[in-house]
Structure 1
Amino acid sequence: MGTVFSFDLRDTPTPAIRHALDRTVTWLHRVDEVFSTYRPGSQISRLARGEVTLADCEQDVTEVLRLCESAQRLTDGWFSPTPGGRLDPTGLVKGWAIERASEILARAGARNTCVNGGGDIQLRGECAPGVPWRVGVAHPSLPGQLSTVVSGRDLAVATSGTAERGPHILDPRTGRPAGSDLLSITLVGRHLTDVDAWATAAFAMGSSAREWIDSLPGVEAFAVTSGDRAWWTEGFPGVFGPSATGTWPG
């Protein structure tokens, strides 16, 4: 999927958990083979070219496209698996894959885990007894610094922006890079499948994202604007670190 995955497991490494971790890694490689838009022979590439039908593809393809349709409706089209007219569900696939990986480990008895795919994270349980997980969110314009820290249990954290990959998020209405007034936006919820796709949509929305996010139950956000200021929703579960520019609102 063009990124690095990491696993932080805080439970006793039983044989069942070790086996589940091996299966999870194998499955993630399979997800890449099926959904990569960079592999001409992947099922999603062949489906996009009309060489196969949805019935010819694995069941996971049907599930992902159904989830994409749901996200498209919920975001009023700001999330789309077909920006520019080309089938590309990768805006949802990574979050879905990370959450599924977390579920595989949980079924094997891993209760306290962090699965991280390129900075999008699904957390379960705690990092230590009585101690919540803490996730640093990179500052989009100050390399090596954090804009905030998310702290909690059983959370999903997803960030969208241009700092790492440039203007790769498209405006689904035009097919061109989104002209967002945000540098980055981080969404926090329970399920990474949802918040990863919603973070992509929120970034494309720009300044209108805050009102939309307020309408989502159980979801909070932290954003850095192009003016290097920050805003966050009322329930954002963060510990707000100091900014080197001193421009965060109080």
Structure 2
Amino acid sequence: MRIDEQPRQRWVDQQPRTRWVDQSAFASRRPDLRLGTRSHRLDAAGGTAVDRIAVQHTVRTGTAEYSLLLNAPSWLGRRGVGEALADAVAELRAVDLTYGPTRPDSLVSRLRRGEISPESYAPLADLVDRCAAMRAATDGWFDAWAVPGGFDPSGLLGGWAVERAAARLRAAGIHDYAVLTGADLVVRGHAPHGGPWRVAVHHPTDPRRAPLALEMTAGAVGTSGVTGRRGHVVDPHTGEPADQLDAATVIGPDLAVADAYATALYAAGPAGLAWFRNGSDYRALFAHRRR
């Protein structure tokens, strides 16, 4: 089932950053980005403005594949754009190496063993604080401490990595970009054709359904449940694998938060829809009940 269906042309949040568009809008203009069941796809839609440099790059770390699409100002030059891209890729690799909970020598693993405290490293403290905030926001359904082996931030670590890489791009002067990993993405600014990023969000489990059509200039889409591994999300209240939903997709301003909400919604099932009421900046796009 699709949750929180919105009327066409209604803004998803109070800022004109993400809006629903008619499916017919994609008939003549292909989407720039497609989020599918198990992976994303990039469509070369439209041209590139004469004063911009468009770059597309894909990188694989030890745990994920990321695609970066940059619509950079020409004053940076190709060398400057290349350096900015390399810096963002280095951040993605660094997060995987430094914070991956499956790596015995990572900061997260050392924290789990009691060898260091969160305050030992500022980014680690930020990661722990974000997990604590999401535990509170989801009534304990996202709980990085209620997993086998102790603290495990995997439910928002990928989104956190993307947001940190995106911050590197902005620091270098690139404010128009898209970063994708799996069924998750962050966008900012405009696509190379000069308009908002056109995003087709396909249903996470039913490819026969028409995709949701979005135009975005800022925002993130986070999805849980499409890895193909049942039992990868644990009900923090029982310790058993979550079994209510096949997939959950959440949209909002920050990918780490959207990822955590999607993970929690996947675990909580329909009861988690209450988190997205009362003016929340985050919305549930899909919450597909398991058959």
TM-score, normalised with respect to structure 1: 0.81
Conservation of the 8 A alpha-carbon contact between 1:185 and 1:223: yes
Query: Matches of 1:99 and 1:187 in 2, distance apart?
Result: 16
Alignment of 1:1-20 (within 5 A): 2-11=63-72, 12=74, 14=77, 15-20=79-84
Cα deviation 1:168-197 (Å, max 9, x = unaligned): 1111112221122x2222111111121111
Conservation of the 8 A alpha-carbon contact between 2:203 and 2:286: no
Instruction: Give me the identity figure in percent.
Output: 34
Alignment of 1:55-74 (within 5 A): 55=119, 57-74=120-137
1:164 pairs with 2:225:
no
Determine which of 88, 102, 106 is the counterpart of 1:24: 88
Q: How many residues align?
A: 226
In structure 2, the residue matched to 1:127 is 191
Letter in 1 for 2:67: S
In structure 2, the residue matched to 1:206 is 269
Query: Matches of 1:203 and 1:150 in 2, distance apart?
Result: 23
Conservation of the 8 A alpha-carbon contact between 2:178 and 2:187: yes
TM-score, normalised with respect to structure 2: 0.70
Higher relative contact order (CA closer than 8 Å, sequence separation 6+): 2
**Unaligned 5+ residue runs, structure 1?**
229-250
Conservation of the 8 A alpha-carbon contact between 1:163 and 1:183: no
Query: Matches of 1:138 and 1:164 in 2, distance apart?
Result: 16
Letter in 2 for 1:76: D
Query: Matches of 2:195 and 2:209 in 1, distance apart?
Result: 23
Cα-Cα RMSD: 2.3
Query: Matches of 1:18 and 1:53 in 2, distance apart?
Result: 36
C-alpha deviation, 1:53, in angstroms:
3.1
Determine which of 30, 37, 41 is the counterpart of 2:101: 37
Query: Matches of 1:158 and 1:216 in 2, distance apart?
Result: 19
1:190 pairs with 2:229:
no
